[in-house]
A and B are shown apart, each in its own frame.
Chain A
């Protein structure tokens, strides 16, 4: 009897949720049922404050709903706050990047160049020290990159980071960079990059900006010719920016993976097999195009997520 009431309550909540979502213009519908493996389970999926995170969180939430769970997406400002929310139990899970966890939560300074080793180290240390479980990583790399407008790239003849040394010798006045403060001090950011590629841009040629402003400034090519970028950002394609090839493999690899407390997984052991297909099907190109649909075409992350899940056949 009690069980039936519980079922009923879940059903009602589900209906209300579906109604509320439909009222929001169909955002994040996908109540289609694949299995009942997670019946009665409730999850809060975290998203940091940028589009890729919203899309990943929506994809995860909709897939969990399709398996019978209740799942809501919570947007949180900044990596650190998102991680704190996971540790405090406010969030059940979210997508984190290996490089971020290594530098920020595990307080390391030198990244490991090999993606697999980096993932293995992060996963092992985070589980041991903090009880955070890392699911298998997806093959997309949201690493740092240096972007430049297509016209400037052609005019200056640069296509890879090692071209910058020659440019510095011939046209030092063109070596202007827009970067944000975090990138400017990270070992795996600007200081390391300039050292690895043997360039020394003058301090007055480095402009410190917010990430959101950098793409447009690089596109204008007035205050700076080169700018920091995130490799999977949709604005790279939208503004027709060129990403300089990291031909010395300096930038570490930032693979995304679902993270959650080990106890959350212990309570719902099927999560791992349900979410596994996501990591297998997401790669850098897919992520760029999904991000562009949100950042450039102005689509709702929930719709983009549902469309993709349907396309790869995870909702049926």
Chain B
């Protein structure tokens, strides 16, 4: 999502009201709804055997979707709570030298297969929802951390200089100049992190944390196409829906005039 498209779309929306709501705001919900409806129609038309019925029962699927959403949303919230303050701290003059170290760690977290992190954690710390959450945070924190750092670094130095010349304190400069200018970049990182988290959450099933991975793994191992489709399509639908929500946040949290 680039700044140009937003800048182009926004004034139009203001001038013409609802009819001119940009397509990307309504296209995703429409697509997701259509996909889920098509999925329900497809599964209802299938002659399911006893194993498929067990995994595709409405109660079972809804429980897995809820678990998946909980994992992805909570992980994203924790990521924001850790990565944004950390990114701010790492761009202050006194700690700037630590930035490469932190980014290296975050890069490692993203590069290491989530399943590997998960199994290592499970063998040392035990199993369950919390373990899956830690693995998710480790694997998806990079985009938010990196974008917070990059977002703050790309703020025009002359603006900071001018603010200081006007007598603003470091804290005021951060709150009133640097952060507002960095927010669009940070939010772009957030969207990447959300989508990452939804994908990675599919491995939570290996440590008793449920999620749609349970349905996908069953579909793969038993070679039951309807089961595999339900798991896959629902995961994609959740990723798209959360990305869309994050897009809305991006739209409204973006400071005026940018």
Contact = CB atoms under 8 A, between A and B. Distances in A.
Contact of A185 (B119, B208, B218, B220): B218
Interface in B96-139: 119, 122-123, 126-128
23 contacts: A78-B220, A80-B220, A103-B222, A104-B223, A105-B223, A109-B51, A182-B217, A182-B218, A182-B221, A182-B222, A184-B218, A186-B51, A207-B208, A208-B208, A209-B127, A209-B206, A209-B207, A210-B207, A213-B119, A213-B122, A223-B126, A223-B127, A223-B128
Contacts of A184: 218
B123 A210 contact: no
Interface string A181-194: 11011110001000
Contacts of A80: 220-221, 223
A118 interface: no
Contacts of A213: 119, 122-123, 127, 206-207
Contacts of A79: 221
Contacts of A186: 51, 222
B229 to A, nearest CB: 15
Contacts, number: 66
A124 to B, nearest CB: 20
A216 B123 contact: yes
Interface residues of A, number: 27
- Shortest beta-carbon contacts, A-B, top 5: A210-B206, A207-B208, A182-B221, A185-B54, A181-B218
Interface string B48-63: 0111001100000000
A105 B54 CA distance: 19
Contact of B221 (A78, A207, A217, A223): A78
B147 interface: no
Contacts of B235: none
A223 B125 CA distance: 12
Interface string A104-124: 110101000000000000000
